[in-house]
Amino acid sequence: MTNNEMDLARGRVYQLLSSLFAQEIDQSFITEFNSLPAQDFWQQMATQDDFSAPVKVITQTLSKLKSKTDILELAADYCGLFLVGTKHSASPYASLYLNEKDATLFGEQHQAMAAFLQQSQLQLKPEFKEPADHIAVILAYTKHLVINENEASQLTFLQTSLNNWIDKFIVQVNKTDQGQFYSAVAQLTQAWMNSEVQWLESEK
């Protein structure tokens, strides 16, 4: 695999994780999941020991979504975890974990992430009305860095914008998830981030 092919593969993982946190699973996601390229992708992910357990839960859950009711039930899990904003949820915003004593939405972390997007000539989709420090935005921006910037820039961003709070977020997801799907997504994200940081540090 060439460096370019590796970066494209890494970028695909970041985009996937971003999409899983950005919104509820819908029929278009399930259709894509059932495609041969997607099945090959998930099978490849499952070959890695650190990813196999959460990938198994994710793929088994998605394979069982056969009706609108099934999809709505998983959507309810998403809403309860990421949209409600109570102590029984897992808010997906960096600011709430980095500034726990004085946490505010659209605060310092939002402004910093918005600045990153602006300097890269990127912007949030109009329909995505969330603060820029949402984990989905950070993961999508990391994909941009993987494709367009060097490893040192990627590592610095991960360490200062994601790895410094994601463990607290993962704990909260595991504690409040009523099902298994989003806990598995969170665990896969954590395992992927750990592997990425280790690899990027080895490339110094």
3-state secondary structure of 34: coil
- Average pLDDT value for residue range 176-181: 92
Structural contact between residues 137 and 115, judged by C-beta atoms closer than 8 angstroms = no
Structural contact between residues 168 and 34, judged by C-beta atoms closer than 8 angstroms = no
Domain ranges of the chain: 3-202
pLDDT given for residue 108 in this prediction: 82
Fold of the domain built from segment(s) 3-202 = Four Helix Bundle (Hemerythrin (Met), subunit A) (1.20.120)
Tokens of 161: 């914008």
Q: Average model confidence (pLDDT) for the chain?
A: 92
pTM for this predicted structure: 0.93
Q: Given a cut of 70, is residue 180 above it in pLDDT?
A: yes
Q: Given a cut of 70, is residue 189 above it in pLDDT?
A: yes
Residue at token pair 């310092």: 108
Structural contact between residues 142 and 158, judged by C-beta atoms closer than 8 angstroms = yes
What tens digit of pLDDT does each residue of 41-80 get? 999 999 999 999 999 999 999 999 999 999 999 999 999 9
Q: Report which residue type is found at 174.
A: N
- Average pLDDT value for residue range 88-92: 89
pLDDT given for residue 164 in this prediction: 92
